[in-house]
Amino acid sequence: MKIKELIYKTPEMTEGKLLEIMNSHLDWIKGDLKERICELHKDPSKPFDLSQAFLDEYDVIQDKKSYLTKSQRDVVVGFVGTCMILMTKGKEVGNE
């Protein structure tokens, strides 16, 4: 299920709140995955937001059109899912 559909089905969730939580936990992502996400999603005509790029990649993965390896896809799905769980549990950024 895509992010927009998940957020639509749960009114306590907002994309802005999810991005805020993701931004505060980007240090969980190790290795070269951040660089790979940048390569795939950076558009020189727009400001770049790494958290938004992770959400975009999550949707690409759901469409089965991702160019990431299986383990990289697992990390993206796990990261976004964990941040969504934090958000739905009402954890404030920095207070987990």
Q: Name the token pair of 83.
A: 């941040």
32 inside domain:
yes
95 inside domain:
no
55 inside domain:
yes
48 inside domain:
yes
94 inside domain:
no
Number of domains comprising the chain? 1
15 inside domain:
yes
Which tens digits make up the pLDDT trace of 21-44? 999 999 999 989 999 999 999 999
96 inside domain:
no
Which tens digits make up the pLDDT trace of 41-61? 999 999 999 999 999 999 999
Q: Please, are residues 83 and 21 in contact by the beta-carbon 8 Å criterion?
A: yes
Backbone dihedral angles phi then psi of residue 49, each to the nearest 5 degrees:
-125, 115
Query: Range of 27's domain?
Result: 3-88
Q: Name the token pair of 16.
A: 């802005």
